[in-house]
Every structure is written in C-alpha cells, then in structure tokens.
Amino acid sequence: MIIIESIEEMQRAADRLRVASKRIGFVPTMGFLHEGHLDLLRLAKQRCDTSIMSIFVNPTQFAAGEDLSTYPRDFERDCRLAEAIGCDIVFAPEAEEMYPPNDSTWVQVEDVGKGLEGSVRPTHFRGVSTVVTKLFHIVRPHVAVFGQKDAQQAALIRRMTADLHFGIDIVIAPIRREPDGLAMSSRNTYLSNQERKEALALFRALEIANALFSKGERHVDTLRHAVEEEILRSGNVQLDYTAIVDPDSFLPVEGNIERKALIAVAARVGKTRLIDNLIVRNGTTQS
Amino acid sequence: MIIIESIEEMQRAADRLRVASKRIGFVPTMGFLHEGHLDLLRLAKQRCDTSIMSIFVNPTQFAAGEDLSTYPRDFERDCRLAEAIGCDIVFAPEAEEMYPPNDSTWVQVEDVGKGLEGSVRPTHFRGVSTVVTKLFHIVRPHVAVFGQKDAQQAALIRRMTADLHFGIDIVIAPIRREPDGLAMSSRNTYLSNQERKEALALFRALEIANALFSKGERHVDTLRHAVEEEILRSGNVQLDYTAIVDPDSFLPVEGNIERKALIAVAARVGKTRLIDNLIVRNGTTQS
C-alpha cells in the first residue's frame, strides 16, 4: 500500500491507472476507521482493480463550535487497518492544499440537502459536496462507495453525481452495527460507558418503528411518535429530530407510507451527536 | 469530424482517447461561430492530439427576459466551420440530457463572479460555472480554451478549476476583432447597420483609455471618466458599467494602477448588449 499526500501526485497516479485500463474504486473517509469504513473498502475492492481510500478531516463540513479540533485521529492505525483489507493507495492531503489561498468555489445541492441534517447544520452539506467534488477530481474513480449510516449524505452525493455528470458509479453500503445494534461511528469514541448504553435508544427506537411497520402500521405520525417516545424515555438522550422521508429526495412522507420510506433520527447523548436510520418498504425492511 | 449528441457516448469516447494517451483540447461554445471561436479551436489543436468543441446554448446562464429563445443558431454552418479548422469531435447535447429531471446542483464561485456582469446578471455566472463543470466531466479534457472577450468568465473558470482541482489547463485566447476594432461576438448579428457603427464606441473608448495609460496616466478615476465620456458621446449607446479591476480577482482597483488592470465596459446598442475589455500593464499593453 502506498500513501500519497500531494494532489498532483495523486492525479498522476490516477491517470496512470486509467491509461492502464484499471478500474478505480474510491472510499472517501475522515479516518479513525471502524468496521463500517472497512466494509466500504471491501466493496470497492470487489468492484474494481485498484482501491483508494482518502483520509481527510474536511474543515468545511464542520460549523464553528462543532468538533473539528477534537475529531478523533489515528493515521497510523488507519493505515494498518486499510492495508490489512488490501487497500492499494491511501490519499491523505493537507487542508492547505485542498483549499488553496482565495478558495471561493462551492458545490451546492438544493432540495436533498435542505431538511434534517441540512436544517440543523446549515453549512454542513455544502462542505461535503464541495470536498467530494474536489476528491473525485483528484482520485478520478470509476466507483465511489459511501455508507448508508449517513443516509442524507449518500442521497446528496447520488444527486450531485447525476446532476454534474461525473460518470462515477455511487455504491451505498449497509449500516454496520455493533453486536448490540449501535450504528458504528467514529464519534462513538466520545461516549462514556454510561452514555454508550444510553446511545442504544436510537437503535431501539428504530427497531420499534420497524416492528410496527412489519405489523402493518403505515401512518408516519404513528411511526414517528413511537420513535420519539422511545428516545424521550431515555432521560439523558436529547432528540434533535425524527423524520420520515423519501430515501432519494429526502422530502417528508405525509400520511401513509405507500412504497418505502427512510426513518431517520438524530440525538445528543451527553455532548455527542449521533444519527441513525432505517429504510422500511412494503414487503420487506432493510437497515 | 464526428458529431456526438449523447453524454454517455461522449464520455466513452473521451475515456478511449485517455486510455490511448491522447491529450484532449476542449472549446466550449454556444455556437454561431465566428473567427474568435475558431481561434480557440486553433489553440486547442496546437496544444493537443484531439480537439473537441461543444455547441450548447446553455439555458441556465440566461435570465428570464434575456435572449435565450432568439440567440442565433446555425448548427450546420458551425459544423462546416469547425471541420474546416480540423476539429475532431463536435459535442452537441440536448438541454434535457444536460439538466436531468430534478436537477438541483449548482457550482458557485464567490468573489470573482460578484461584480460587473455578476451584478448586472445575478444568476449568469452560476449557470456558466455549472455548465462548464458538467461539460468538463463529460469531455474530460486536458486543456480547455476560453476567450478573453468574456474576461470575467475566463477569470471565474480559472478560479473554479484551481479550487475544485480539475487538473485541466485553462488557456485564454486574445480578443478577436473586426478590422475596425469591434470585438467579435455572436450577438453582433443582432445589430442593424446603423447600430453596427455606433457599437464601435466601446472599442474607441477603450483605445482612448489605452492611449492615456501609454502617456503615463495611472489614476483609475481619470481613465474610467475618459471611457465613460467617449461612450456617452454616442447618443444611442446606453452604458451599463465601466470598471477597472484586477484581472484575476476582479476586485476594483482603487487610486493608481500599480502593475496591471483590466478595463471592462458593458453597454447596450439599441436592444443589443455588448461587452469589451482591455488589459493595461506597466511597460506594455495587451487587448
């Protein structure tokens, strides 16, 4: 596995791979890898000749007062984990090179990025779509893999890739969970032992909605109420939002769920903000 | 020369060229070609193995009430002219494919795109940067050539290309003028014989500023005043703006011009809106 820090060097390596007709699979991450990230890498390897993972804690997707400076980092461990899966290249640029002096270009996806995370974190998705555009231009992948845990981000990247005609296949990997159901996240490391237990409320609440849906409940108000009730029962968990939306447009579903819907929840456990989601669809369910 | 209408077909052709290590030179146009466009094509051919010209009247860079529906079009003549220069591929997509259903992604360059054209036509540059991003993703060029006549657009594309790390060389071709000095533009076709004569006021005004600069005048107020006076002298020409700006940032130059500056003018002759510009620099001048 090789580590590349320079943008120009990464572009040259990608061009050489393309001239050699190698298919490039790309996994953009902010590092501090867990099994969820490694699943993305495994998918990229399955589908492509060469796998490239970027590790870059992107400043523009954090707002002032968010956890940019404390976001967990362990580059050497990340590289060991990526290499063990068979990653070919880790791309780890400096922020100063990703955002050159006088940088003033933004990629903005309207609609999909407006609600949920977009309304709680108004500049977040602009940072995500902009950095992913930069990374796509540098790594030049045929396939890029994102996780369903960040469901709105996944929908936004799919929309942006279609709109801007990137010509990149976007693959979305299912949520990887701990044995007790907690969705894996680099931010789980912030949780104390007590908070770690309380954090399960998000998964439990989604499971309750899932069970209701399986029994035939289709009305979004009933399902959302059940999720909220379960989360509010856990005294130390502060609900940010529960939303039931179309998984592609992220527009709210109203009344009864006709075909499928995404149930999303965001909450704070102590000072740690966590998100989780579940897709329900008539006939079957899928997390 | 081949003509490609489908985005996917153009992307496949570009990929084949890249696998064959061919350098792709790209000239994006809205068609109705004149010698200015053909200069861009000649430059692309000089620098690359394969030249591709797009012809696409981009709806998102016209505001309501502008001349989208009447913009001059002659696809067959354009193809004959491009082929005569040795163009390899003309890419001519449909608006419906360039802007798919639910299209909602914009590329926006702050700063450079704010003043001058950006303040008179507030959604214009958002349309330009978005369509150029799409075209870059479809044509996948190594080099792209733009004209200095649209100086602010050229600066905006340079800024966007650096910021988003497109890895494309942006080449800017000098303004091509008619023998009497009028800057070539597809919109010149709108002018009546009488207006065609009056339109020369833009070039004359820039030449007056240039002569003053050559004689040592450096103060922007004096230079701008001379330009405005010459244009206002022509009764039928309505001045939109005169601006003296830094050619890269497009921020106004204040006081004396230290090294170089771009003098830009926009005006209406009858119903036709025309722009022109000139760069002055200490030691030499260049249009």
The H-or-E segment that residue B35 falls in is helix B35-47
Q: Domain for residue B97, yes or no?
A: yes
**pLDDT above 70 (res A287):** no
Q: Is residue B284 part of a domain?
A: no
| Structure token pair of residue B9 | 């077909």
Cα(A216)–Cα(A26) distance, rounded to whole angstroms? 39
User: Which residues does chain A have within 8 Å of residue B138's beta carbon, measured at their own beta carbons?
Assistant: 165, 167
Show residues of chain A in contact with B102, CB under 8 Å: 111, 159, 249
Distance CA A6, CA A74 (A): 20
- The answer as to whether B281 is a domain residue is no
**Residues B22-77 pLDDT 10s:** 999 999 999 999 999 999 999 999 999 999 999 999 999 999 999 999 999 999 99
Select from B100, B112, B160 the Cβ nearest to the Cβ of A163. Answer: B100
B216-to-B206, B256, B285 alpha-carbon distances in Å: 15, 11, 12
Distance CA A261, CA A132 (A): 26
CB contact under 8 A, A166 and B109: no
Question: What Å distances lie between residue B133 and A70, A162, A177, B26, B255, CA to CA?
Answer: 34, 12, 37, 13, 36
Q: Which of A121, A140, A173 is the last residue of a domain?
A: A173
Q: Which residues have C-beta within 8 Å of that of residue A95, sequence separation ≥ 6? A: A56, A59
Same domain flag for A79 and A105: yes
Do B165 and B194 fall into the same domain?
no
Question: What are the structure tokens assigned to A235, written together?
Answer: 């005294």
How is residue B117 written in tokens? 């054209």
Confidence of residue A286 (pLDDT cuts 50, 70, 90): low
User: Tokens representing B239?
Assistant: 């001045």
Q: Sign of the C-alpha dihedral, residues A153, A154, A160, A161?
A: positive
Query: Are A165 and B137 within 8 A, CB to CB?
Result: yes
Residue B153 inside a domain? The answer is yes
Q: Are residues A22 and A142 in the same domain?
A: yes
Residue among B134, B137, B163 minimizing CB distance to A105: B163
Q: What is the CATH number of the domain that holds B23?
A: 3.40.50.620
The DSSP H or E segment spanning B272 is strand B272-281
A124-139 helix and A7-19 helix, angle to the nearest 10 degrees:
50
Residue A234 in this model has a pLDDT that exceeds 90 = no
Same domain, B33 and B132: yes
- Between CA B79 and CA B184 the distance in angstroms is 19
Q: Which of B85, B93, B108, B87 is nearest to B26 (CA)?
A: B87
Residues of A in contact with B137 (CB under 8 A): 164-167
Q: Any catalytic annotation for residue A225?
A: no
Read off the tokens for B77: 């003549």
For an interface test with A, give the residue of B164, B168, B169, B249 to mutate (most A CBs within 10 A).
Answer: B164
Task: Please tell me the distance in Å from B135's CA to the nearest CA on chain A.
Answer: 8
Which pair of tokens denotes residue B156?
A: 């905006």
Please provide residue B187's backbone torsions phi and psi, each rounded to the nearest 5 degrees: -75, -15
Question: Which of A173, A203, A233 delimits the end of a domain?
Answer: A173
Q: Which of A111, A133, A135, A165 to mutate to test the interface with B (most CBs of B within 10 A)?
A: A165
Q: Please indicate, yes or no, if residue A257 is contained in any of the structural domains.
A: yes
Which pairing describes strands A237-245 and A260-269: parallel, antiparallel, or unpaired? antiparallel
Q: Is residue B181 part of a domain?
A: no
What is the pLDDT at residue B284? 52
* Contact residues on chain B for A164, CB-CB shorter than 8 A: 105, 107, 130, 133-134, 137
Residue ranges of chain A whose CB lies within 8 Å of a chain B CB: 7, 11, 15, 18-19, 21, 98-100, 102-112, 129-130, 133-134, 137-138, 159-160, 162-167, 249
Nearest to A52 by CA among A131, A138, A130: A138
Catalytic residue among A34, A37, A124, A219: A37
* Token pair for A78: 């990340």
Kindly name the residue from B34, B37, B142, B165 that is annotated as catalytic.
Answer: B37
Distances, alpha carbon B2 to alpha carbons A112, A131, B143, B251, in Å: 38, 35, 20, 42
Output the CA torsion A138→A139→A144→A145 (10° steps). -100
Counting the structural domains of chain B, the total is 2
Question: Does ipTM exceed 0.90?
Answer: yes
CA distances from A107 to A74, B146, B166, B258, B272 (A): 29, 22, 13, 35, 32
Distances (CA, A) of A89 to A24, A26, A78, B188: 10, 10, 12, 53
Are B49 and B84 contained in the same domain? yes
The b/e string for A2-19 (b: 16+ C-beta within 10 A; e otherwise) is eebeebeebbebbeebbe
What is the spatial distance between Cα B119 and Cα B176, in angstroms, rounded to a whole number?
A: 26
* A166: nearest CA partner in chain B: B137
Q: What is the chain B residue with the closest CA to A7?
A: B165
Record: contact B163-A19, CB cut-off 8 A? no
- One domain, residues B39 and B163: yes
Q: Which domain holds residue A201?
A: 186-286
Distance CA A211, CA A159 (A): 31
| Positions of chain B with pLDDT lower than 70, given as ranges | 284-287
Has residue B223 been placed in a domain?
A: yes
- Cα B183 to Cα B151: distance, rounded to the nearest angstrom: 12
What are the DSSP E strand ranges found in chain A?
2-4, 24-29, 50-55, 89-91, 105-109, 143-147, 169-173, 237-245, 260-269, 272-281, 284-286
Whole-Å CA distances, B162 to A14, A175, B35: 18, 35, 28
Q: What is the pLDDT of residue A283?
A: 74
Pairing state of beta strands B237-245 and B260-269? antiparallel
3-state class (DSSP) for residue A96: helix
Rounded Cα gap, residues A100 and B160, in angstroms: 11
Measured from the Cβ of residue B173, the count of other Cβ atoms closer than 10 Å reads 20
For A21, the closest chain B residue by CA position comes to: B19
Interval A8-59: pLDDT, tens:
999 999 999 999 999 999 999 999 999 999 999 999 999 999 999 999 999 9
Shared domain for B190 and B169, answered yes or no, is: no
Are A33 and A158 part of one and the same domain?
Answer: yes
Domain shared by A30 and A134, yes or no: yes
- Which residues sit opposite B51 in a β-bridge? B25
**pLDDT value, residue A76:** 98
Query: Same domain, yes or no, for B7 and B116?
Result: yes
- Give CA–CA dist A10/A134, Å, rounded: 12
- In 3D, which of B134, B262, B125 has the Cα closest to residue A104? B125
CATH number at residue B194: 3.30.1300.10
Let me know whether A44 and A150 are in one domain: yes
Measure the CA–CA gap between A271 and B186, rounded to whole angstroms. Answer: 60
Instruction: Please answer yes or no on whether A133 and B164 come within 8 Å at the CB atom.
Output: yes
Q: DSSP secondary-structure letter at B206?
A: H
The residue from B140, B173, B206 where one domain ends is B173
DSSP string, B97-108: HHS-TT--EEEE
**Is the same domain home to B96 and B27?**
yes
The string over B184-219, giving b where at least 16 C-beta atoms fall within 10 Å of a residue's C-beta and e elsewhere, is bbbbbebbeeebbebbbbbbbbbbbbbebbeeebbe
In a domain, B79, yes or no: yes
Whether A285 shows a pLDDT value over 50: the answer reads no
Q: What's residue B101's pLDDT?
A: 86
